[in-house]
Chain A
Amino acid sequence: MLNTVPEAVVWAIFLLPISSFVIIGLFARPWPRWCGYITIAVVGLSFLLSLWVLDSVIQEDGRDLAFATHQWLTVGSLTVNLGLTVDGLTAIMLMVVTSVSFLVQVYSQGYMHGDPGYSRYYAFMSLFTGSMLGLVLAENLIMLYVFWELVGLCSYLLIGFWFERPAARAAATKAFIVTRLGDLGFLTAIILIWSQTGELDIPRIQEMAMAGAIGDVILTWLAAGVFAGAMGKSAQFPLHVWLPDAMEGPTPVSALIHAATMVAAGVYLVARLFPIFSASDVAMNTVAVVGGITAVVAASMGIVMTDIKRVIAYSTISQLGYMMLGLGVGGLAAGVFHLLNHAFFKALLFLGAGSVNHATNTFDMRKMGGLRRFMPWTFTTFVIAALSLAGIFPLSGFWSKDEILTDAWDERRALAWVGLVVAFMTALYIGRVVFLTFGGDYRGGEAPSTGSGQAPAGDHSSTRFQPHESPPVMVLPMIVLAVAAVLTGFLNVGEGVTHLLEGWLPPEALERTAKTEFNLGVAAMSLGFAVAGLTVAWLIYGARLLSAETLRRMFGPVHRLLVNKYYLDWLYEDILVRRVLVRGVSTGLDLFDRYVVDGVVNATAWATRFSASRLRLVQAGQLQVYGAAIFLGIVLIVAAILIVNP
């Protein structure tokens, strides 16, 4: 056991990666190799420091380590502090972020090898890691919002990393704007809470909420606004549309940002403000129901996608929905524990997809197949992650999924059934991925494309005919993650994680958490649904006893609906944005501005000139005219005087 971690060390955890960004941006850019090494070293160091934090927090039973707050800005009655929250929740998040980030940075050494944007890639990855760590450490809502937006920025920059590709730049813009739509709610909630309480520090606000100093209506609105932000960032229905498109970014980015960490920030935010959410039934129900809908809707789309990354992306959305569902039924520990397990196995799935892409140059599963023979390591680790995701005992996914289902079973049974259905769908789509990618015979992949940045990693072996295993620098991180995907589930067998995650809660909020008691029936059902899903996948895509083609025809309209993503992209992009906003409202107002507002201006000018040009004719220099005018004037004046003053 070490001494309690000093404050400066905690600051260093997120400032180190940020300084790595600055160093790369200003100085190290011309030496790409070193940019990679700096990032890896710095993130590794953050990981070690996070271990220290974890140790200190365990000694405190997950309670908040009290650190000083520092003033950042004061204006009149407004005080914005900089302060750190370090409790069980933070410590767990720190571990997740630093460990996954470290492994992904190592993997990227192989995946991004030779990319012309190598330095830029590592600069952004450093900035992302630092911002994400800052987000989980922030004690103040404004500070949290700052990092919240910064991780969004990194996501934007990294989705659009290969900006030569039209799809990539469009996806980047879309991601930023859709998440900002959610942030609208978050920012409004911050403004609301400050105007009501004059506080921006989260612990202070929670104290007031617990003491009943904030009205119920305000609390509900506050939670609703915050949840809107969480919905954007964690891609909850109906704001999930940006995440599948975000797969245009390099695959390690998808693994780190769009699977393990940033997209989980919404879940973290709800967990962080759990005392406030739990004080409002409306808020909790909303979280649970939105989570449930998201889980089903996303899983259904995952079943029909042919792009391996998109399937995993929909799976991520679905699993985030699962976490929200868990939080919504009071399962704080269950939701966050699932976040932890999910981070490892989902990052692994993405790294596996990246490895497959490295070998075949495609993400299209119809061109893969049979890869288990060429890529034994990728195959093995991918299957472990897939089984973990499917929730097969005793892999990590099983444990946390079971906790969520148990909590839901006790609190809101309907949602537990939703969760079970999703468990079935999850096993089905991930089984489909495994069989399509690794089973059967190799279907040829795609020729390596030429041109800088066109193909991820721009692989240099154009003479290769057969896919081959990825280099050790990519395989090793995958093995480490696979070990995690097997083991992390056992962490909570003795309720250690739950204890840590609930240690910081005020007693009132602690009362409102779901008490998870192992329920053999639920566990058996969840396992049964998962096995059923895998079996169906095997029947269709493994043994091919059922024809996928026949099924597709049988469910024609449903299939079309799913392939077209419920027509939401079409509704948002073509109808709402392009037709209504741009071509309708904006163009209309632009015309109004040009022809009506400015028209009045020009008409005034014209009227002045016109009347002047006519009046000018009178000024002809003819004395007779002037004399007549003077006479007329006098007559008029005299008449006026006589009328007014007879």
Chain B
Amino acid sequence: MLSFIVFFPLLGAAVIALLPLERERHAKWAAAATATVVLAAALGLFVAFDRDETGFQFVERHTWVSADIASFDIQYLLGVDGLSLAMVVLTALLGLVAVLISWNIELRPKEYFAWLLVLEASLLGVFTALDFLLFFIFWEIEMVPMYFLISIWGTGRKVYSAWKYVLFTFVGSSSMLVGLLVLAFAAGSFDIIELGRMDIREALLPTQVIFFLLLFGFAIKLPVFPLHTWLPDAHTDAPTAVSVMLAGVLLKMGGYGMLRISLTILPDVARDASLWLAAFGVVNIIYGALVTLVQTDLKRLIAYSSISHMGYVLLGISALGQVGLTGAGMQMFTHGLITGLLFVLVGLVYDRAHTRQIGELSGLAHKMPMIAVVMVIAGLASLGLPSLAGFVSEVTVFLGTFQKHEALTVLGVIGIVLTAGYILWMIQRVFLGERLPRWEGLSDATAWWERVPLVVMVAVIVLVGVYPAILADIIETGVQPIAERLV
């Protein structure tokens, strides 16, 4: 089942790539069909998942390179626990959204949709792989579609931003590769499940160094200040769908990696690093929010807000307890959803107005009431309004972290006022402001492929906000073993 979910998008990509040129316009239909099937399968997993059980389910294990050749087995090992399942569902959902809001792509649509599906496959691979080497391979593959998607279909300084993204990721993953190899050779296994049970103290490098090397890779992805500057550029210059995937899913690879690898395999070092993690988390929250306040480009604004929101993930992780880790996992899911939606909306505005400058836009609510209403909902969710998805994850993070880092948590709470500031000012200026003749010709979201993502994402945001247990229960089963090892 997991193999199907991971490789079906690749199959779809291959089919699209092989479409004859005169049937180019069918590419989007094939992509939509593929993404729909993947989403259905992911939801199937979500339903079939046994919530009473911790540990990995739907495990598929095959020897890939046997110990006869290497010094130990490299496996093809897939499986999901509650944490990865939440990420899989998120990826599948945003994967479909990304295809739908790209409906009007006219530049080389075949390649575009093929790359988009390859991206989805690699992300699903990252979240399901349980062999460290396999994990790393998926992690690396993800860069390829990203490079092409940003540099060909992007806007602005797209080539610069694409390179910046790739180089940053490369630096991170080379550091991660060193850590990975040292770790694996010390333990004699690439098996993440097994590594998660071992107590590794002796290796070629001190465990603190290994922890740092791995964390460095994840920190670039999350991203953690001061390694974040690739993010505003990449988000801003990427096409809408890629911004959605980038903010919605790719950042979560960082948080996921920390939980799945750093905390699970090296719990002792994690305990020592807890204060640092919390401190960087708070810096992310406050610094990100303060910088967001003065952004003038809608996409850059949301990009910086993501940095701030990822700080909550880091803060929750630093708690090293079940409540905080669950909060971090929930924040990853809800932020993916909310920020994904924000980028969809900004994309819709940009498609119509051809500008993202907050200073130029004004009074759009009159001409695009649906987009405005959804923007208000997404904005409120982003600023942590109760009854919408963001609130529960933030509060869970705060509750989980306070006992361990009192002062830092209180500083983190201040972030919610700054968030309210930049979100509401943005809405006030762009949507509620003076009605300008220049924007009288704009239309609302009318096409089905625009409306479906909006309605579905709002529905999920409200569902998780009103009934958070549907998400929290699953994530909790996933983080429980991690938390137990950290006690």
The interface of chain A, by Cβ under 8 A from chain B, is: 71-78, 142, 145-147, 149-150, 153, 156, 160, 163-164, 166, 169-170, 172-173, 176-177, 180-181, 183-184, 187-188, 191-192, 194-195, 581-582, 585-587, 589-590, 593, 597-598, 600-601, 605
A146:B386 contact, CB within 8 angstroms: yes
Partner of B293, one of A145, A187, A586: A586
Q: Which residues of A contact B435 (CB under 8 A)?
A: 164
Interface of A is mostly: helix
Is B151 on the interface with A (CB-CB < 8 A)?
Answer: no
Whether A191 pairs with B420 at a CB distance below 8 angstroms is no
Interface residues of B in 398-437 (CB under 8 A from A): 398-400, 402-403, 409-410, 413-414, 416-417, 420-421, 424-425, 428, 432-435
Q: Does any Cβ of A come within 8 Å of B302's Cβ?
A: no
A142 touching B395 in the complex, CB below 8 Å, given contacts A153-B380, A598-B229, A605-B167: yes
**Contact indicator A163/B432 (Cβ below 8 Å):** yes
Bound Cα distance A176, B384 (Å): 13
Interface residues of B (CB under 8 A from A): 164, 167, 225-226, 228-230, 287, 290-291, 293-295, 321-323, 326-327, 365, 380, 385-387, 391-392, 395-396, 398-400, 402-403, 409-410, 413-414, 416-417, 420-421, 424-425, 428, 432-435, 468-469, 472, 476, 480, 483
Q: Are B417 and A194 in contact (CB under 8 A)?
A: no
A77 CA to B324 CA, complexed, in Å:
11
Contact A581/B293 with A76-B476, A146-B386, A191-B402 known, Cβ cut-off 8 Å: yes
Closest to B470 in A: A73
Known: A587-B294, A589-B287. A76 touches B468 (CB 8 A): no
Chain B, Cβ-Cβ closest to A18:
B387
| B410 surroundings in chain A (CB, below 8 A) | 188
**CB pair A150 B472 closer than 8 Å:** no
Please indicate the chain B residues that have their CB under 8 angstroms from the CB of A71 in the complex.
Answer: 469
Question: Do residues B226 and A597 form an inter-chain contact, with CB atoms below 8 A?
Answer: yes
Q: Is the CB of B291 within 8 A of A590?
A: yes
With A180-B416, A180-B420, A589-B291 as given contacts, are A75 and B402 in contact (CB-CB < 8 Å)? no
Known: A73-B469, A75-B323, A75-B326. A176 touches B229 (CB 8 A): no
Give chain B residues whose Cβ lies under 8 Å from the Cβ of A587. 294
Counting chain A CB atoms within 10 Å of each CB, the highest count among B380, B385, B395, B476 belongs to B395
A177 lies within 8 A of B226 (CB): no
Instruction: Say how far B321's CB is from chain A's closest CB, in angstroms.
Output: 7
Given A184-B413, A184-B414; A586-B291 close (CB under 8 Å): yes
Cα A205 to Cα B139 with chains together (Å):
48
Q: Is B290 in contact with A586, judged by CB distance below 8 angstroms?
A: yes
3 A-B pairs with the lowest CB-CB distances in the bound complex, closest first = A76-B322, A146-B386, A598-B229
13 A-B residue pairs with CB within 8 Å: A72-B468, A75-B396, A75-B476, A76-B322, A78-B399, A78-B400, A156-B424, A160-B432, A177-B421, A194-B399, A581-B293, A582-B293, A600-B226
Nearest chain A residue, comparing its CB with the CB of B293: A586
CA distance A586 to B295 in the complex (A): 9
One of A149, A191, A581 near B386 (C-beta < 8 A): A149
Whether B428 lies near A170 (C-beta < 8 A) is: yes
**A77 and B424: CB pair below 8 A?**
no
Q: Which of B287, B386, B387 has the most CB of A within 10 A?
A: B386
A601-B399 CB under 8 A given contacts A74-B469, A75-B322, A177-B420: no
Q: How far is the CA of A169 from the CA of B396 in the complex (A)?
A: 32
In the bound complex, CA of A621 to CA of B290 (Å): 54
The chain B residue with its CB closest to the CB of A577 is B421
A626 to chain B, nearest CB (A): 29
- In the bound complex, residues from chain B placing their C-beta under 8 Å from that of A145 are 386
| Nearest CB in chain A: distance from B239 CB, A | 22
Taking the closest CB of chain A, its distance from the CB of B437, in whole angstroms, is 15
| Nearest CB in chain B: distance from A581 CB, A | 7
> Complex Cα distance A192/B402, Å?
8
Q: Which chain A residue lies CB-closest to B289?
A: A586
The reply to whether B398 and A78 contact each other, CB–CB distance below 8 Å, is: no
Contact B323 A585 (CB under 8 A): no
Tell me the minimal C-beta distance from B217 to chain A in angstroms: 17
Among B229, B322, B402, B428, the residue within 8 A (CB) of A169 is B428
Inside 8 A of A195's CB, which chain B residues have their CB? Answer: 399, 402-403
Complex Cα gap A153–B385 (Å): 8
> Complex: how many Å from CA A170 to CA B424?
10
| A593 and B322 contact, Cβ closer than 8 Å, known pairs A142-B395, A145-B386, A184-B416 | no
User: Are A150 and B323 closer than 8 Å at their CB atoms?
Assistant: no
Q: Do residues B420 and A73 form an inter-chain contact, with CB atoms below 8 A?
A: no
> Which chain A residues lie closer than 8 Å to B164 at the CB level?
601
Distance in Å: Cβ of B350 to nearest Cβ of chain A: 22
* Residues of chain A contacted by B396 (CB below 8 angstroms): 75, 78
- By the criterion CB–CB under 8 Å, are B323 and A77 in contact? yes
Q: Within the complex, which residue of A150, A173, A188, A593 is in contact with B425, where a contact is CB–CB below 8 Å?
A: A173
- How far is A166 from B295 in the complex, measured between Cα atoms in Å? 21
CA distance A19 to B305 in the complex (A): 33
Partner of B472 from the list A75, A163, A598 (CB cut-off 8 Å) is A75
Residue of A76, A183, A192 touching B483 (CB-CB under 8 A): A76
- How far in angstroms is the closest Cβ of chain A from B371? 15
Task: Please name 17 further chain A to chain B contacts, defined as beta carbons within 8 Å, in addition to the given A149-B386, A176-B420, A187-B398, sorted by A numbering.
Answer: A73-B469, A77-B322, A164-B435, A169-B432, A173-B425, A177-B424, A181-B417, A187-B413, A188-B413, A191-B398, A191-B413, A194-B399, A195-B399, A582-B293, A586-B293, A590-B291, A600-B226
Which of B386, B428, B469 makes the CB contact (< 8 A) with A173? B428
What residues of A have a CB within 8 angstroms of the CB of B322 in the complex?
Answer: 75-77
A593-B167 in contact given A73-B468, A164-B435, A184-B416 (Cβ < 8 Å): no
Which residues of B have CB within 8 Å of A590?
291, 294-295
Give CA–CA (A76, B291) in the complex, Å. Answer: 35
Check if B469 sits within 8 Å of A593, measured CB to CB. Answer: no
Q: Are B323 and A76 in contact (CB under 8 A)?
A: yes
Smallest beta-carbon distance A237→chain B, Å: 19
Q: Which residues of A contact B228 (CB under 8 A)?
A: 597
| Residues of A contacting B225 in the complex (Cβ-Cβ under 8 angstroms) | 597
Q: Report chain B residues within 8 Å CB of A75.
A: 322-323, 326-327, 396, 400, 472, 476
A436, chain B: closest CB distance, angstroms: 33
Q: A147 — nearest CB in chain B belongs to which residue?
A: B386
Q: A195-B403, A586-B290, A586-B294 are in contact. Are A73 and B413 (CB under 8 A)?
A: no
Q: Note all chain B residues with C-beta closer than 8 A to A78.
A: 323, 396, 399-400
Indicate which residue in B294, B386, B400, B417 contacts A582 across the interface (CB closer than 8 Å). B294
**A581 contact set on B, CB distance < 8 A:** 290, 293
Residue of B with least CB distance to A587: B294
- Measured in the bound complex, the distance between the Cα atoms of B365 and A187 in whole Å is 32
Known: A169-B428, A597-B226. A146 touches B365 (CB 8 A): no
A345 to B354, CA, bound (A): 53
| CA gap between A75 and B480 in the complex, in Å | 10
Interface centre among A76, A77, A147 (most CB of B within 10 A): A76
